[in-house]
Amino acid sequence: MASPDDELLANIFEERAEFLSQTELHRWTATTPRDKSTLAKLKGPGAKLLIGPRGCGKSTLLRQAYFEIQDEGKDLALYVNYSRSLALEPLFHRAANALQLFRQWLLVKVLLGMRDALGDAGLEPPQSLASIVLDGAAFVHALEAGEEPPAPRRYLTPTELLGLLEAWSKDLGRRRCILLLDDAAHAFSPDQQREFFEVFRELRSRTVSAKAAVYPGITSYSPNFHVGHEAEVVEAWYRPDDEDYLDTMREIVNRRLPDGYQRRLRGKEDLVDYLALASSGLPRGFLVMLSQLLGVEEDNDWTPTRARADRAIADLSAAVESIFTSLAAKLPRYKNFVDVGSELVAALGRHLYTFNAEKPLRQKAVTVAFQEPLSPELSRMLAMLEYAGIVRDSHSVSRGVKGVFHRYTLHYAIILTSNSLNLGRSYSVADVIGALTQRDAHAFARVQPKKALGLDYQSKCTLDLVPCQNCGAPRLSEDAQFCMKCGRQLKSASVYADLLTTPIDQLPLTPKKLKGLKEFTNIRTVNDVLLDEENQQIRAVPWVGPVWAKRIRQYAEEFVSV
């Protein structure tokens, strides 16, 4: 059993806001003026889409908004997490009424959010809610566990739910009901995504508004849902070139770390800034690197060093790239795009290295650009890279007669690991910080896709569709329902089932952690990690403590989530 000190340590380096209490979130979160503007939008009227890659702080903002609305007592806030949506994906391969069940899951989760919100606020739930929630909880649990759900006594509709939310808000004396929907992209199931946004657009009125956290690049909206018109887009990702960025990350350190850890960082503030910049605006990555720098899992007296910082940055770079490569399993039809996309990442690093050669410290570039229009294949690859956080859309810029260029900033950890700043063989941390904070914001390296990837790169970017299980004939399109050769109905493999059997080598774990799991446990697949509910096997590894045990499980949960 973990000691109280172990639990505190695990919470200090907890990267996911949905697992933090209100007290921990308030104490450990640094809120910038930009965050305050975002929170005002999340707490106000109107539909919003909070967009950003994994680890950028979407959940933190939603949870902050939830607690602030609760404390103000004027409105009613519901926090709903849809991260388990992929567990419902097998339904679409075996149940004729899968969309109906999925829609019920979406709606009932909102009712469970209402139950939790009233409990947090110390309010008595209306009798009409209590009668629905009892059956609803069993329904949701069964679906998320992959079991046959009990048939609902009645099927809710979005219109009916909207009416209930309005009535309950009025009865409780609240002006508005605000739905804060986390992990709402359902990124790896187009059917789920389209259904969600059909429901999302219907859950709005003068007193009810929904805000949803989504991913950039790969989120598919329904035909009737028009981004910008149906909902305002709000960016959650910190920008490392903002003036107050380093101050914000330093504040995270000051708020999160106990005095003992902060004392060990005195005189090493440059290493903190080094890691903050390497995180490329993703607080989750910063916390992971910070725990590695301090040797949290190895020795409480370990002195932070440049070498440890470099290893942490290299590990983060590998972890970010693994999020992208895992798309080959989560979106198997795009496997070829992932393969070519990995080549593109390496090519972007090389282009920046060449561009930065002989450039003085203040003229280094971290941005690449492609002349518009971009090919559909390149656009798809860049969208998938953006989802993983490897690139960040920096919008288009005109260069007059030379044309219009679409710019993308490469993740700083990847830039540093590949030495794309071209700082020479021996460079200091101060050189890196100077190059990244004093650089020319308008400089970019122009990339020609065919030169970077080869003249035939577009022909490589084909959909990898499962052939007919009966005769082996290739599918003509991903929407084909029947084989054009033998006429049999085409079946699709379950992405979720395949993900559960994925070897743990695909998780963003260090070689030492992987070796330990294989030597000291029977854990070999992602499902094995999930079945180890109390982390007993994971903790059997000698050098895995509470922080990493919790993190390994979260990596597995995240791998099979949206």
β-bridge partners, 407: 369
The CATH code for residues 33-235 is 3.40.50
Instruction: Compute the distance between CA of residue 184 and CA of residue 226 in angstroms, rounded to an integer.
Output: 16
pLDDT tens digit string along 237-287? Answer: 999 999 899 999 999 888 888 888 888 899 999 999 999 999 999 998 998
pLDDT tens-digit series, residues 370-415: 999 999 999 999 999 999 999 999 999 999 888 999 999 999 999 9
Of residues 71 and 490, the one with the higher pLDDT is 71
Whole-angstrom distance, CA of residue 381 vs CA of residue 137: 39
pLDDT above 70 covers what percent of the chain?
A: 91
Neighbours of 165 (CB within 10 A): 23
In three-state secondary structure terms, 237 is coil
Q: Concatenated DSSP letters for 398-465?
A: E-GGG-EEEEEEEPHHHHHHTTTT---SS--HHHHHHHHHSS-TT--EE--HHHHH-TTHHHH----P
The per-residue pLDDT for 550 is 83
Instruction: Give the pLDDT score at 301.
Output: 60
The Cα 496–Cα 226 span in angstroms is 29
Measured CA to CA, the distance from residue 488 to residue 480 in angstroms comes to: 11
Pairwise CA distance, residues 537 & 478, whole Å: 40
Q: How many CA atoms lie within 13 A of 278 on its CB side?
A: 33
At residue 247, the pLDDT reads: 93
Task: Provide the pLDDT confidence category of residue 226 given band limits of 50, 70 and 90.
Answer: confident
Q: 103 CB contacts (<8 Å, ≥6 apart)?
A: 195, 199
Provide the whole-model pTM.
0.86
Q: Give the neighbor-by-neighbor strand order of the sheet with 208-214.
A: 76-81, 177-182, 208-214, 48-51, 232-235
Tell me the β-bridge partners of 77.
Answer: 178
410 contacts: CB under 8 Å, gap ≥ 6: 345, 348, 349, 352, 366, 367, 368, 390, 391, 420
Please, which residues bridge with residue 211 across strands? 48, 180
What band does 2 get if pLDDT is binned at 50, 70 and 90? very low
Residue with the two structure tokens 């939008």: 41
Cβ neighbors of 490 (< 8 A, separation 6 or more) are 466, 468, 469, 475, 480, 481, 482, 483
The number of beta carbons lying within 10 Å of the beta carbon of residue 543 is 11
Helix (H, G, I), strand (E, B) or coil at 234: strand
pLDDT for residue 111: 95
Asked whether residue 142 carries a pLDDT value surpassing 50, the answer given is yes
Q: How far apart are CA 107 and CA 186, in angstroms?
A: 15
Task: Return the sign of the alpha-carbon dihedral for residues 65, 71, 72, 78.
Answer: positive
Residues shown for the chain:
562
Q: Average per-residue pLDDT in the chain?
A: 87
Domain boundaries, the chain: 33-235, 326-460, 501-559
501-559 in CATH: which number?
1.10.150
Residue type, 2: A
Q: pLDDT grade, residue 440 (50/70/90)?
A: confident
For the ranges 184-193, 323-332, 373-382, the lowest mean pLDDT is seen at 184-193
Position 543 scores a pLDDT of: 75
Task: Residue 428: name the closest of 271, 210, 250, 213 by CA.
Answer: 271
Q: How far apart are the first and last CA of the chain?
A: 31
The pLDDT, as a whole number, for residue 70 is 93
Farthest CA pair distance, the chain: 72
Amino acid at 108: V
Mean pLDDT of 361-370: 94
429, 306 in Cβ contact below 8 A? yes
